[in-house]
Structure 1
Amino acid sequence: MACTRILLVDSHPISLTGLRTILDGCPDLEVVAVAEDGTGAAARFRELRPDVVVVNSHTGAAEALACVCALSRPAPPRPANVLVLLDNVDAAAGQVLRVGVRGLLSSASGSGELAAAVRATAAGRPAGVPARAAGAGAAPLRRLTDRETEVFKLLARGFSNAEISRELTLSESTVKFHIQRIMEKLGLRNRVHAVIFAYEKELIRVGS
């Protein structure tokens, strides 16, 4: 059985060791290299061409974004499949996914969730999408009203409720109502799943 080859990026030795132990403990996963930052990660990626780059960011989205940008300069023959671990995925979903990250996962996730997310990322699937949303196809999107679609697009681009309110000239309570209805119609649990779902279904595209 071929192993999924992983480059692990983590600036904290203790958490790096823990993540490596978890991933190497799976028979189909193998950590082939580690790096402390984006510069080191870029060098190892170009040298080894791993299947997945797992970035454990301790300081928030900025650290993860810097690493992803380093991986993409200069443009490699094959873009990296990146999975980012963050303490607060909801707050950073729009920022991180806009630069082409495949998946987002909470740093507090269990070992099984981490392994599953790595496998999904290696296969080119967004990690963190609930099973009921992943197979939903385009049909649920057709159930959104025009206004809900407008709200959903802004939410997926990382807009806060207040920013959506100003952009669409709606009250914040109305925005909250629309978001609640969107979550129910699409079968999503939270904002990060909504963002990933929007990218997966190409409602918005990377860089939009």
Structure 2
Amino acid sequence: MSGSTHIRVLLIDPQPISLTGLHTILKGHPAMQVVGVAGDVDAAAARYQELRPDIVIVNVHTDPAEAVRSVDALSRYQPALPAPNVLVLTSDAAATASQVLRAGVKGVLSCSSTSQELTAAVRIIATGRSLLVPTVGQKRGDSPLGQLTDREIKVFTLMARGFSNAEISAELTLSQSTVKSHVQRIMEKLGLRNRVHAVIFAYEKKLVGANF
């Protein structure tokens, strides 16, 4: 991140209504600052050159190819520097993830995610870490993960990425006692012995990927 005390965000979204919504959510977070917005890739690339944000959020709606083009355009403006930290918002995270992650996107988040999930993702990706959040409606079928509630899936994902209870509490805006209760229930439901076992289990079930 830059030397600023805020995470500096550039938003790319061709739809004015959703762009306004994203801007409102992030503007209301004390640790974040929206430094620029753009309605298309070409405008965003110029703004990226000018502003050097910590993270770029690209709302692609239904077109993953647009996210790939966005990353390529942003990277061309600063070829000598590390790839930009890009978070893609999409209506179909499962279908989009494989395409955009190969292009260098740091994370993929469902458009149906809550504002808390969005700001948590921004904080994670601004540090250079990667993130792939399962969609709320993702079908878990007969997998052991089907025993978990959607909130427990979110807690377990962060557990598997090495987050402490205090860090999970901060990311999901939950009390530490609530997080502790979720962790205990997760371990019991999945028959896990400890957090190391939880990480192994999460990788085996592809809840998190090797790039984490």
TM-score, L = length of structure 2: 0.65
For residues 12-53 of structure 1, give each alpha carbon's deviation from its aligned partner in whole angstroms, at most 9, with x where no partner exists: 000000000000000110100001111111110111100000
For residues 65-105 of structure 1, give each alpha carbon's deviation from its aligned partner in whole angstroms, at most 9, with x where no partner exists: 11111111141534211000011111121111011111110
Tell me which moved more, 57-66 or 38-47: 57-66
Q: Distance in 2 between matches of 1:39 and 1:92?
A: 21
- Identity over aligned pairs, percent: 49
Counterpart for residue 93 of structure 2: 89
Q: Distance in 2 between matches of 1:28 and 1:133?
A: 25
Contact 1:23 1:31 (8 Å CA) reproduced: yes
1:125 is the counterpart of 2:129: yes
Which stretches in structure 1 are left out of the alignment for 5+ residues? 137-182, 201-208
Quote the offset at 1:134 in angstroms.
Answer: 0.5
Counterpart for residue 44 of structure 1: 47
Q: Distance in 2 between matches of 1:189 and 1:38?
A: 36
Contact 2:159 2:199 (8 Å CA) reproduced: no
For residues 161-186 of structure 1, give each alpha carbon's deviation from its aligned partner in whole angstroms, at most 9, with x where no partner exists: xxxxxxxxxxxxxxxxxxxxxx9953
Counterpart for residue 201 of structure 2: 186
Counterpart for residue 15 of structure 1: 18
TM-score, L = length of structure 1: 0.66
Quote the offset at 1:8 in angstroms.
Answer: 0.2
Amino acid at match of 1:135: G
Counterpart for residue 109 of structure 2: 105
Give the secondary structure class of the aligned counterpart of 2:131: coil
Counterpart for residue 59 of structure 1: 62
The equivalences for 1:124-163 within 5 A come to 124-128=128-132, 130-135=157-162
